Amino acid sequence: MDFETVMQELEGLGKERTKKIYISNGAHEPLFGVPTGAMKPIAKKIKINQGLAEELYSTGNYDAMYFAGIIADPKAMTEADFNRWMDGAYFYMLSDYVVSVTLSESSMAQDVADKWIASGEELRMSAGWSCYCWLLGNRLDNEFSESKILNMLDLVKKSIHDSQERAKSAMNNFLYTTGTSYLPLHEKAVETAKAVGTVEIQRDNKKSSFLNACESIQKEIDRGRIGFKRKYVRC
């Protein structure tokens, strides 16, 4: 399936209601408003195609960019490629659910995510923290340095309330994911989440939302889901 055909198929799957939801979350034209589940049949036909993924991502069309993440080959991408994709990620649904997800399936995931977290740029930080969430929720515990994750928990404790909004949200999710999916530091994550307390996320033209990682972890404890790992990260 070539680029033109994919774009036509995506356009045909667009829904006005979905488009409005994406726009309310920060997407802008061009976009079609394709529900993510509707992309699966096209993805099954294409499987992995990095060349096509690059063409689609470079359109600036949100749906095409999202689909690019589904068919991308993370193992074929360099650090420069991930940075270029990050440069094009203009809002959190791209940074946290396309770029960071794709990065999480590469061997350089932690190295690149560390640089993004240290960048001071809101969406890069958000993508970096989100990448660790995808990693911790999928990879075996022994693939991580316990001391490194411990230092990251300390960083969250010290800086989350003073961070930019999207970074705050991703850092809160990191607390939750560490507490839920990384058994060596489950108790430390709960302790840190208690110390952090409720995190206020301010949003443009919307009411603030309030996140509490401790409460979210407790729900997973009650469900008996501590140590849970996803089988797959991408759709």
What is the residue-wise DSSP string for 113-164? Answer: HHHHHTT--HHHHHHHHHHHHHHHTTS-GGGS-HHHHHHHHHHHHHHGGGS-
- Closest Cα partner for 196 from 207, 188, 186? 188
Q: What is the mean pLDDT of the chain?
A: 97
Give the global pTM.
Answer: 0.96
Give the model confidence (pLDDT) of 68-95 as tens digits.
Answer: 999 999 999 999 999 999 999 999 999 9
Categorize the per-residue pLDDT at 204 as very low, low, confident or very high, splitting at 50, 70 and 90: confident
Q: What is the pLDDT of residue 111?
A: 98
Q: What is the pLDDT of residue 64?
A: 98
Q: What is the pLDDT of residue 232?
A: 87
Categorize the per-residue pLDDT at 56 as very low, low, confident or very high, splitting at 50, 70 and 90: very high
Q: What is the pLDDT of residue 235?
A: 62
Give the model confidence (pLDDT) of 128-155 as tens digits.
Answer: 999 999 999 999 999 999 999 999 999 9
Categorize the per-residue pLDDT at 205 as very low, low, confident or very high, splitting at 50, 70 and 90: confident
Neighbouring C-beta atoms of residue 206, cutoff 10 Å: 10
Largest alpha-carbon pair distance within the chain? 52
Amino acid letter, residue 1: M
Q: What is the pLDDT of residue 155?
A: 98
Q: Is the pLDDT of residue 120 over 80?
A: yes
